Amino acid sequence: MRAIACGVGILAALLGGCGGVEVDTQGADPLRLLDLSPRLGETGVAPDAQVVAVFSTEVILGTGEGELYEDTFHLEGAAGAPVAGSLELSALDEELATVVFSPDSPLAAGSYTVVIADSLQGRTDGGRTDPLGVTIRSGFEVGP
C-alpha cells in the first residue's frame, strides 16, 4: 500500500491542491478527489469542524449499499488514535458527491490527520470505478 500526503511536493502537481486524484479505470470514469477541508497544513481549525471531501462521482465507502466503513475514510488524532464520529455520504448533484466526517465531540487542540484509504471506489452507471489506488493522508491543527 502506498501513502501520500495530499498537497505536498510532486503530489501538488498531481492533485492541483487536493483535486484530481485519478486512477486507471479501464474505460470507466475515474474517481477523483476534488476538494478536502480542512486543507493540508491548515492551522486554527475550529474544534467543531467537520471534515468534508468532495469527489467526482458517488463514493462507495463499504461493500454494500449505504454501508460506511471507518477503515475507508477516518480521522486520526495524536499518535494515530482514531477519533470517534460519524460518516455521511451525500450527492451534491448527478456528478459530485461528498463524504462528511462529524466528530462525536469537539476536537481538542492539537494535530489531526484525515485518512482516505486506497481501496475507496466510486460508483458509475456501469458499475464501480477502480480503487483510488493511493492512501491520502492530510494533516491539520485545531486551536488558535
Tens of pLDDT, residue by residue over 40-71, are: 999 999 999 999 999 888 887 665 544 446 67
Q: Which domain holds residue 44?
A: 3-142
CATH number, position 137: 2.60.40.1220
C-alpha cell belonging to residue 23: 486512477
Please provide the distance, in angstroms rounded to a whole number, between the alpha carbons at the two ends of the chain: 35
Distances (CA, A) of 61 to 9, 10, 11, 70, 97: 28, 27, 24, 8, 12
Report pLDDT for 66: 43
Query: Which element (helix H / strand E) includes 58?
Result: strand 58-60
Q: Domains in the chain: how many in total?
A: 1
